[in-house]
């Protein structure tokens, strides 16, 4: 887990991050977004549920999904398949988030917060399709009660969506949760 903040025995962290990236080759994603040389990745067949990617580049638990028949110069081929040139999916599981924060980014003296801010450079090319936030409470007496959490889940389009107030983490920040 990527530890974002802590206060009175609370740990908030990003436990999963999934980003769809358009118009970039795998090599550019590896080097420019992750800061990892592309030769560190292995190539294997791989599917991602709800998407048509047919293989992925893998470095530990970091995965970048792509299409096998990639031809970046043939826009009509992409259009016929129903996707845009350079359509990739970066998937960071909990272990991948931990590795990125604790090992890779720390070697470069970059915080995960800075990593996320750096994504803004690519805001027209990326869509965050999934982000899971974990809040762990290690206090003997819980810091938040279930009522204070007020997290409700509703079924929408055959998937469960959190129906929490969007300002929930911002309110936690107002309580002076220091960023790590």
What pLDDT tens digit does each residue of the chain (180 aa) get?
A: 444 444 677 777 888 999 999 888 889 999 999 999 999 999 998 888 888 888 899 999 999 998 876 555 555 655 665 555 678 999 999 999 999 988 998 899 998 889 988 888 888 888 899 988 887 788 787 776 666 655 544 445 555 455 444 434 334 443 433 333
pLDDT value at position 19?
94
Rounded Cα distance between 51 and 19, Å, is: 13
DSSP helix/strand/coil, 142: coil
Which tokens belong to 82?
């129903």
Rg (CA), the chain: 18
- The residue behind tokens 């399709």 is 129
pTM of the model: 0.70
pLDDT value at position 133?
83
């Amino acid at each position: 887990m990527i530890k974002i903040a802590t206060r009175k025995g609370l740990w908030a962290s990003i436990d999963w991050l999934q980003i769809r990236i358009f118009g970039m080759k795998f090599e550019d994603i590896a080097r420019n977004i992750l800061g990892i040389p592309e030769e560190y990745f292995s190539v294997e067949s791989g599917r991602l549920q709800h998407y048509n990617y047919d293989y992925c580049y893998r470095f530990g638990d970091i995965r970048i999904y792509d299409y096998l028949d990639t031809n970046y110069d043939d826009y009509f081929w992409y259009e016929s398949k129903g996707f845009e040139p350079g359509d990739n999916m970066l998937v960071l599981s909990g272990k991948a988030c931990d590795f990125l924060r604790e090992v890779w980014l720390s070697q470069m003296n970059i915080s995960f917060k800075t990593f996320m801010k750096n994504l803004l450079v690519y805001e027209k090319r990326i869509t965050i399709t999934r982000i899971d936030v974990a809040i762990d409470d290690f206090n003997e007496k819980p810091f938040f009660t279930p009522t204070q959490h007020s997290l409700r889940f509703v079924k929408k389009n055959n998937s469960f969506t959190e129906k929490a107030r969007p300002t929930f983490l911002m309110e936690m920040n107002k309580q002076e949760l220091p960023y790590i």
